[in-house]
Amino acid sequence: MSAAPNLRPFPTTTLLMSTIRYLLGSLLLLTLLEIFLHIYSLRVTRPTHALDPPFASSCLIPPESPLSHDHDIAPHDAALPRENATILMLARNSDVNGAVTAIRSLEERFNRWFHYPVVFLNDQEWSEEFREKVGQEASGEAVFARIPVEMWGWPVDGEGREWVDREKVKEAMAKLSTMGVPYVENENYHHMCRFYSGYVFGGLGLLCNIIVHDMQANVGDCSFFQDHPALKPYKYYWRLEPDVSYTCDIPYDPFKHMRLNNKTYGYSIALWEIGSTAPSLFRTVTSYKSSHAIPTTPLWTSMLDPSWAPLPLRWGLMSDARLFHSRTATGDAWSLCHFWSNFEISSLDFFRSASYRAYFAALDATAGFYYERWGDAPVHSLAAALFLAPAQLHWFEDLGYRHPPFQHCPRDGLGCACACDRREDAVPETCLRQLRRGVDP
């Protein structure tokens, strides 16, 4: 038998296979390099020193405070003129016991020294029981005001007709309810989120709502409601919810320190939003950011989880809002981290600004507060990320705060006369650390 022929590939075949391997290797290397550069482009540069230290350490006002002081505790600040500020609670008559609990706690830990006024808002008339029981707990003036009908309820057009599709809302609520989204079938909860997102701060006028909805003009052409009469005199507010409690003494005036330290927005807790409550919110905000050429801030970048997918997948697939919600047009994801707004101390001028009003008008025109369950917390947080520098925000790390089922308890060595356990109902600090990358070294 003759030997089998020694079959060898033709030189051209060997060259072709080598070329293919080279090209595939180069493509893989370039892909990995592009992914690395993309992720690197979304890094947040850490500052060399802390840009947002606590306003107080223990029960003493710190030496670097812009206030003149002699290391005294709260009554020293209390001797200074009060800021143009108020405490604000949105409640119902049925919340009387929870409101008493919250006011009593805040008085014990803070307001018994400072006597700031408290504004109570309700979409219904206040009962005498609420006025009497809650009013007697406040050491400052208690103002009981009603929310105007045009600020609460379904949006209407110039002829008083609702323009939100109620059937679409009903279907959306039913779908979200089956997904376990909390409060989604509570109509007033939607109204409350919309109210706290914009109207409470001097919401858009009826004409503005119509124009923006019909896309006939920009918000600069709109007329605005005056601020709510009960809030109009003030420049700062402290949001207070029924049933919350404060677990540490507050040995200074937060409003004064916000002003003196050029702080615009203050928070206590940061956590994740439930993604199914607002699948289109982030894309709506990113589209607004792009169309208005709003520069990217470090806080905005801190909100993002960079995509590890190669560019073609990011731009062609992962940017498709029908398939991937809460992503930018280039495929990067919102981490869903936001500041929990049931506690916030903030400048009212920020929410009354033309930039915030235009932002809120654009969101309101989509009816996302009803077709989905957009919350005021992510709406406020994303606005802060759009318009504020990281150092303009303040974490009240030294302030003990409990809002069931969560609480913030200061770390050891911080806070004044605290009565809380950091191990109980603690919120993981993942979001907090992510959102503070622009202020923590």
Which residues are designated catalytic? Answer: 344
The CA-based angle 170-176-181, given to 5 degrees, is 130
What amino acid occupies position 383?
A
Asked whether the beta carbons of 250 and 416 are under 8 A apart, the reply is yes
- What are the helix (H) ranges across 42-186? 74-78, 96-106, 112-114, 128-135, 166-178
Q: Is beta strand 393-395 parallel, antiparallel or unpaired with respect to 265-267?
A: parallel
> Are 412 and 430 a contacting pair, CB within 8 Å?
no
Residue with structure tokens 């991937």?
A: 324
- Residue 176, classified by CB atoms within 10 Å of its CB into exposed (0-12), middle (13-18) or buried (19+), is buried
End-to-end CA distance of the chain: 81
Separation of alpha carbons 106 and 109, rounded Å: 5
293 Rama sector, left if φ>0, alpha if ψ -120 to 50, beta otherwise: left
**E-state strands within 15-90:** 85-90
DSSP label of 288: H
Number of continuous H segments (helices) and E segments (strands) in the chain: 17, 14
Nearest Cα neighbor of 201 from 349, 81, 42, 386 is 349
Separation of CA 103 from chain center: 24
